[in-house]
Structure 1
Amino acid sequence: MTLAGKHAARSVSLADNTIGAEEVAAVTDVLTSRWLTAGPVSQAFETEFASALGVSHAVSVSSGTAALHLAVLALGLRPGDEVIMPSLTFVASAAVVALQGGVPVFADVVSAAEPTVSPEEVRALITPRTRAVVAMHYGGYPARLEELRDIARANGLALIEDAAHSPVVRGAGRALGTVGDIGCYSFHATKNMTTGEGGMVVARDPAVLDRIRAMRSHGITRTSWDRAVSGGSDYDIVDLGLNYRPTEVGSAIGRVQLGRLAADRECRRALTRAYHELLARHLPDAVVPWAGRTEDSAYHLMAMVLPEQVNRAGVQAALRADGVQTSVHYRPVHSFTRFRAADRPCDVARRPLPVTEQMADRLLTLPLHSRMTTDDVAYVVDRLSAALGRLGDGVRP
């Protein structure tokens, strides 16, 4: 493959969705039914998603963050309990632990080429107060689940899978999210399959999932839909909970999106391979996570690590001027003010994260979505190469 479109300026968005006429029709059906909160469409979505994962049950919720919060609540996390997780992730997993008075303990990643939590780091960070480990499948690629599962089991810890990037992807012989004790998914607008806002939870222990189902709706014994169908109005509150229910509108969209997911992933796979080929040829000093790897993936993000001494802000500005939208996944959580404050419960001052910190200012996320073409990929790499060349990093022409 050669670089193309050097003189054909275009606009390439960072992310896009596959919403189309089928989703519009499904939403119209829901609106016509006039039942808008969690009901039969949401139940059907749960059944279909669980089937796609190869499990018996799943619980739909209002967001991926809600899924993570319910996981922490279901485990009964108490003030002072520690949860080990990567710092290179979205802030939600640390936030839900801190909101319970728990301590997010940040672990380093394996390498720039494999930016998922390091099992060796996890093992070294376990203390008598450790209750759980969060494995985040960065960009839709599996973390080292078998090692993490063995460490968790040997130490009596829960393993939470943050599978926000990786719906219906396999790793360690199972669908990601179903290997550990609890799996959490996100259907945010930028995800491979979307409901606008939304999420899903699965759990190995049916009793844990039952508690999550109750807690997503105030710990109530009979939902609004149950009462509407039966005609009864009585109910009980058996647990403390929140309103993390899904909507029927979102669930209708999700059912269609689930059916589109396989085709979306095949398109992303082809685009990712095109990126890997071109980046290896034209930007050999950059590190591209999982380049050349063959494991299953959702191909959610096209992240790369820029060569050292490159001004990332300058690169992003140059790409923006050429119509290419970029982002950073992620600014490490331990670098945020909330988690650096001396009076906050966080272990960051106790342990350096050299791999994460060396990557932090060099991470760059390039556009990747199934509305792109390989010509778009070539244009992005061409403009990136030109930007790096102008900034004098010594990239080959």
Structure 2
Amino acid sequence: MASTESFPALPLFDLQLQPQDLEAVAETLRSGWLTLGPRTQAFEEAFAAQLGVRHAIAVSSCTAALHLAYLAAGVGPGDEVIVPSFTFAATAAAVLYCGGTPVFAEITSRANPNIDPEDVERRITPRTKAVCAVHFAGYAAPVDRLKEICDARGIALIEDVAHAPSASLHGRKLGAWGMSGAFSFFSNKVLSVGEGGLLSTDDDDVAAFVRSRRSHAMTSGTWERHKGSTDTYDVVGLGFNYRLDEPRSALLLSRLGRLEQEIERRRELTVRYRELLSGVQGIIVPFEDSEVATSSAYVLPIMLERDGEQARVSAELRERGIQTSIFYPSIHRFSAYRERFPDVSLPITELASRTELTLPFYPHMSDEDQDRVVTALAEVV
């Protein structure tokens, strides 16, 4: 049966791999060793050095990294974790995996859609075990202020860095501010390999816990037994199958060498996009121009000034061959969360979710592509 799908001329994301990336994966396949092993270790060491932390532990997804980060912070039944609702559902779902309760906090504004530290502070209770800061679109959340708030109360600060590899605040890389940072290598991310994640930390105990729990809490892995380091293992806790495989690690290691160059290109494109968008009436472009230079420039979000226009504008852009998306629907408005948390009201977050559109954006986007997007947007807003 013939496909009736129609793909946009300008997609939201696009990925171009280089010949060396393909060869790195092919070499791994030829090696015959596909599960967690030496290539994963090499990638972890390189990523930790690039980030400036003691430990980087590769896992199967950013969701897995968040789950292990919350567990390492001691989150369990009866505990609360303060999270934004303006994020992907995994930020809150991983709290529920632990038996904890996500407490949803406001964003600062539609022009600064990162978590509001003043609202976080108001929501802290004796049950608060951790705060999770999401660096939306690759721009730094106020982790400097959040760290002060958390440190003063003995609360763990977790960073959801899914959008923000190599972004920084005050010269310090994001993912190096909190007890742990959770990174994503999903197919639409800045450093993408399809599926994958990583937990960063400077805490030796956290690193040991995460390395153990990512692989069923076994005291040795398949690679160690293959090398002859041991021929047995114990299981010392409740662990998970959160391992990253070797082909993805090889692809990550190959792509990591170009990460800074690709992010710099993203920043150049973002500056040009923002200049073009400054002439479009009826929209808000989040964050400040000055913040682009320290961001990862992951996506290009806009907010429509008028409520109730999101679906129409998205549909009319799609008719012109331009794909958009919503980053993000409010978590607390999803059916599963309304059932659990029916009384949550976050007016700023909810308005942002009803008016946000994410525009096409990728490192090899041309000036002509950007011009086409902005011209179409100006026509339909």
**What corresponds to 1:213 in structure 2?**
211
Q: How many angstroms does 1:258 deviate by? A: 0.8
1:191 paired to 2:163: no
Where does 1:102-141 land on structure 2 (aligned, <5 Å)?
A: 102-141=100-139
Deviations 1:34-81 (A, max 9, x none): 000000000000000001001222100011111111111222211121
What is the distance in 2 between the residues matched to 1:201 and 1:105? 22
Q: Is the 8 A contact 2:164 2:295 kept in 1?
A: yes
Q: 1:142 aligns with which of 140, 143, 154?
A: 140
**What corresponds to 2:60 in structure 1?**
62
**Helix, strand or coil at the partner of 1:383:** helix
Count how many residue pairs are aligned between Structure 1 and Structure 2: 373
Q: 1:333 aligns with which of 319, 322, 331?
A: 331
Q: How many angstroms does 1:204 deviate by? A: 2.7
| Residue type of the alignment partner of 2:356 | L
What is the distance in 1 between the residues matched to 2:129 and 2:268? 40
**What corresponds to 1:4 in structure 2?**
none
What is the distance in 2 between the residues matched to 1:103 and 1:232? 40
Q: How many angstroms does 1:282 deviate by? A: 2.4
**What corresponds to 2:283 in structure 1?**
286
What is the distance in 2 between the residues matched to 1:353 and 1:230? 56
Task: Identify unmatched segments of 5+ residues in structure 2.
Answer: 1-7
| Residue type of the alignment partner of 1:140 | G
| Residue type of the alignment partner of 1:82 | E
**What corresponds to 1:16 in structure 2?**
14
Q: How many angstroms does 1:327 deviate by? A: 0.2
Q: Is the 8 A contact 1:172 1:179 kept in 2?
A: no
Q: 1:369 aligns with which of 358, 362, 375?
A: 362
Q: 2:350 aligns with which of 336, 357, 366?
A: 357
**Helix, strand or coil at the partner of 2:251:** helix
Question: Structure 1 runs of 4+ off > 6 angstroms?
Answer: none
**Helix, strand or coil at the partner of 1:319:** helix
What is the distance in 2 between the residues matched to 1:356 and 1:304? 14
Percent sequence identity is: 43
Residues 289 and 156 (structure 1), Cα distance of their counterparts in 2 relative to 1, 3 Å cut: same
| Residue type of the alignment partner of 2:303 | V
**What corresponds to 1:237 in structure 2?**
235
Q: How many angstroms does 1:336 deviate by? A: 0.4
Q: How many angstroms does 1:18 deviate by? A: 3.2
**What corresponds to 1:380 in structure 2?**
373
Q: Is the 8 A contact 1:17 1:193 kept in 2?
A: no
1:40 paired to 2:42: no
Q: TM-score, normalized by length of structure 1? A: 0.91
Q: TM-score, normalized by length of structure 2? A: 0.95
What is the distance in 1 between the residues matched to 2:65 and 2:117? 24
**What corresponds to 2:4 in structure 1?**
none
Q: How many angstroms does 1:279 deviate by? A: 1.0
Residues 83 and 43 (structure 1), Cα distance of their counterparts in 2 relative to 1, 3 Å cut: same
What is the distance in 1 between the residues matched to 2:264 and 2:49? 20
What is the distance in 2 between the residues matched to 1:122 and 1:248? 39
Q: How many angstroms does 1:235 deviate by? A: 1.0
| Residue type of the alignment partner of 2:45 | T
Q: How many angstroms does 1:232 deviate by? A: 3.3
Deviations 1:326-371 (A, max 9, x none): 0000001010011111xx2x4x61x531211221210000011112
Q: How many angstroms does 1:274 deviate by? A: 1.4
Residues 309 and 182 (structure 1), Cα distance of their counterparts in 2 relative to 1, 3 Å cut: closer
What is the distance in 2 between the residues matched to 1:172 and 1:102? 32
Q: Is the 8 A contact 1:18 1:370 kept in 2?
A: no
Q: How many angstroms does 1:307 deviate by? A: 1.9
What is the distance in 2 between the residues matched to 1:166 and 1:292? 17
| Residue type of the alignment partner of 1:366 | L
**What corresponds to 2:274 in structure 1?**
276
Deviations 1:269-294 (A, max 9, x none): 111111111111123x3111114233
**What corresponds to 1:155 in structure 2?**
153
| Residue type of the alignment partner of 1:244 | Y
